[in-house]
Amino acid sequence: MRYFIELQYNGGNYHGWQQQLNAVTIQEKLNNALSVLLKEAVNVMGAGRTDTGVHAEQFFAHFDIENEIEEELLIYKLNSILPTDIVVKNIFKVQDEAHARFDAISRSYEYRIWLGKNPFLRDLTWQTHLKPSVEKMNEAANLLLRYQDFKCFSKSKTDVNTYNCSISEAVWKQEGNMLIFYITADRFLRNMARAIVGTLIEIGLGKISIDDFKRIIESRNRSEAGVSVPPQGLFLTKIVYPKYIII
């Protein structure tokens, strides 16, 4: 039978979600903890991959086991042995065919920038003394909703069948020194969110124009877009699934 597990993590100490050789990852920590507690080999399948240093306020994975479990007890035990920067929030049974990655309807990210210097947010924001124009960046961000192909923002040598994504939200909001970019789409390409932010920042600083931004998207060329902003400011904040997958 199949279960979904909902978790949160601070990605600062990890080389992303996906298990790999000679690197500490969230998937590795979760696999090990589940295998110990359930006394069988468990391999969780995540909703996607987050890169090194990226955080998740909501992340889902699924795993299969032969016997039913006591969800609340397993949550308690997992949180007792997992590192303190990984927290399990929920475990629930789903349809046998439900898939944490392929059944996701939408994903939402936030990119958090602190305008200035704040020692308490050093590992959770990109801190900069730059003062980009929020109005200009929102004008450009609104254009993202008109496009589908975002190859120009994708990491090179990515093995995907399509570069098409449907973006339903892309907006900047500022409150005091905190500047946050909110973006929601049905799927994201590798490095896409951070590359979009880096390019929008260039617009906010007057380095490129709105017309340049259109040209960059239509070029489908990663080298035309801006640099990727640092990972510590990026948070996966929400993943939505159809209700029918839950038993």
Write out the catalytic residue numbers.
51
DSSP-derived letter for residue 228 is P
d(CA 202, CA 214): 13
Query: At residue 241, what are phi and psi to the nearest 5 degrees?
Result: -125, 155
d(CA 166, CA 104): 13
d(CA 219, CA 201): 19
Residues forming beta bridges with residue 114, ordered by sequence position: 127, 178
Using only C-alpha atoms, what is the Rg of the chain? Answer: 19
Which amino acid appears at position 128 of this protein?
T
- CA angle 55/60/65 to nearest 5° reads 135
d(CA 225, CA 172): 19
d(CA 32, CA 29): 5
d(CA 181, CA 183): 7
Contact 55, 124 (CB under 8 A): yes
The number of CA neighbours under 13 Å toward the Cβ of 204 is 20
